[in-house]
Amino acid sequence: MRRVLFDENLPRQLRRDLREFAIRTVQEQGWGSFKNGQLLRLTETTFDVLLTADRRMEYQQNLATFSVGVVVIVTPSLRLEVLLTVLPELRAALSNVKPGELIRIKIEP
């Protein structure tokens, strides 16, 4: 089972629809105060994938140097009903992203 960390900007309720993954949130881990570089270093010690809506991460960090995959949801809204529209793509990305790789899932307005 892939271990996924939800960044603090994602609705926790989304995990109900992703039961095939072991999901924790940044808040549950006590990592809410860490910046992206620190967060990625912590994430790679315990998780396989970081799920975030932070589009800047790929430009601020050299993701290839981390042993965790990153999935970025590009969306104008982080409401649960909006995120559920891309559930199949999200499942595929979380299942297939490789360490050091970034996959973008774009939701059109």
pTM of the model: 0.94
Domain boundaries, position 78:
3-106
Partners of 102 in the beta sheet? Answer: 70
- Strand ranges (E), the chain: 3-6, 22-25, 49-52, 69-74, 102-106
Phi, psi torsion values for 108, nearest 5 degrees: -75, 145
Give how many domains the chain has, as a whole number.
Answer: 1
Q: What is the pLDDT along the chain (109 residues), one digit of tens a residue?
A: 999 999 988 999 999 999 999 999 999 999 988 888 899 999 999 999 999 998 888 787 888 899 999 999 999 999 999 999 999 999 999 999 999 999 999 998 7
Residue 109: the pLDDT is 76
Q: Are 55 and 85 in contact (CB under 8 A)?
A: no
| Cα four-point dihedral sign 90, 92, 95, 99 | negative
Residue 69: the pLDDT is 96
